[in-house]
Amino acid sequence: MQTATPSQPGAGSALTMSTIAFTACFAVWTVFSIIGVKIKQDLGLSEAQFGLLVGTPILTGSLVRVFLGVWTEQYGGRLVNLLVMLSAAAATFLLSYAQTYPQFLLAALGVGLAGGSFAVGVAYVSKFFPKERQGAALGIFGAGNVGAAVTKFAAPFVMLALGWQSVAQIWAGVLALLAVAFFLTTKDEPDLLTRRRTGVKPQATAAQLAPLRKLQVWRFALYYFFVFGGFVALALWLPHYLVAVYHLDIVAAGMLAAAYSIPGSLFRVFGGWLADKIGARKVMYLTFGISVICAFLLSYPATSYVVDGVRGPIAFRLATGLVPFVILLFALGFAMSLGKAAVYKHIPVYYPDHVGSVGGLVGMVGGLGGFIMPIAFGALNDLTGVWTSCFMLLFVLVAGALTWMHLAIGRMERANAPQLANLPELPEMAGMSKTVSFAAPAGRVANPPAHS
């Protein structure tokens, strides 16, 4: 009987504190989803300008992920995460003094550093757990995405009571305190301790980045572009969408937007466990299948019809009500949460010595989705005048990702098992000969052989 490989000493505190720290970072990273609505009103911003504002922190947090992942492999997650969190806290505090649109964009670039903590946490946490438990561990860590829901629940009340500036200042103070707590209560990863003891130097940056030339890594990145980038984009966009489409106030919009954010975060734990049990590939099929259906239904715009009936015109309207909308969002968030965990289940298995760089690249591309899509959502609104155009874009993305994944898996299966090419196209034809002859009437030649 096989015995499961034990976790490394300090694994519990590393996972717990990393998850708490990432939750706080994610709450800061998405703070513009709430305060941005007020800033849009104060400055009279267009839809595209609002999309750029809420997406700018996502840009910074995405672009720095590759380098933060590499630096985590070289210098350790405790130190790198401490510096990231303190830098983001300082930028968030200074945000409260911004007054013009360029100043808000500049502050948003600094706030975005909080998003880089994900790459640090993935590289740091994975070092403490064996491969058969990494899916669940990284799923628990990734549940820190629930920080978006924390902001949606708490920020509207603070903003209405004290102003959006107080939201920025309070969020900055909490992040700084948790940064210190994280550093004081965790241990350095085992690899780093071994290198210090033996004097072995870490891999050079060029060697860390070498796997990024593989197409497989970029395919994983596309998956994450949808499951994570789409999650972040909707987390930022939904309060504005609900206010504009369903005419809710900002508090109610924040509460309902959390109905998407919470399952999209917490069910990531279940996704990691499921990926360990049945395999990441099956989980990805489940993710994309549910997402295609939900995105298609959500993308259908409210439409009025007039039918020429027997007794005259018959008018009716098709539109997604608020309750069906929230239910579909819950399902979409659930599917995305499974996919986020399944994508990162692949990385420590395929690239155990390059988790930082590969995980950083995949996280960067996913984060860029969270930056690009809010801008695209605003631009599509300006161009088409259709509110559901954001879900139309998501449908195109997930359909493309599902197609590429299925084709890639088919090629891998045929390469690893050439005998599959000889299987009949239809299961009921198994055991039949390739050539089937048919009797012909006297004096005529039989039909030529039929090939399966």
Task: Give the tens place of pLDDT for each residue, 16-70.
Answer: 999 999 999 999 988 888 888 888 888 888 877 887 888 788 888 888 888 888 8
Residue 208 in domain: yes
Are residues 424 and 452 in contact, defined by beta-carbon separation less than 8 angstroms? yes
- Measured distance CA(339)–CA(276) in Å, rounded: 13
Q: What is the enclosing helix (H) or strand (E) of 307?
A: strand 303-309
pLDDT at 179: 95
Residue 302 in domain: yes
Mean pLDDT of 111-131: 86
- Measured distance CA(69)–CA(233) in Å, rounded: 23
Tokens of 424: 């009949």
Are residues 300 and 388 in contact, defined by beta-carbon separation less than 8 angstroms? yes
Residue-wise pLDDT for 271-309, tens only, equals 888 888 888 888 999 999 999 999 999 998 878 778 888
For residue 327, what are the domain limits? 11-417
Residue 151 in domain: yes
Residue 448 in domain: no
CATH number at 50 reads 1.20.1250.20
Residue 5 in domain: no
pLDDT at 249: 84
* SS (HEC) of 24-71: HHHHHHCCHHHHHHHHHHHHCCCHHHHHHHHHHHHHHHHHCHHHHHHH
- Measured distance CA(348)–CA(325) in Å, rounded: 36
Residue 428 in domain: no
How many domains is the chain built from? 1
Are residues 365 and 58 in contact, defined by beta-carbon separation less than 8 angstroms? no
Length of the chain: 452
Q: pTM for the complete prediction?
A: 0.67
Residue-wise pLDDT for 189-224, tens only, equals 877 777 777 776 666 656 666 666 777 788 888 888
Residue 447 in domain: no
For the chain, give the percent of residues with pLDDT over 70.
85
Residue 441 in domain: no
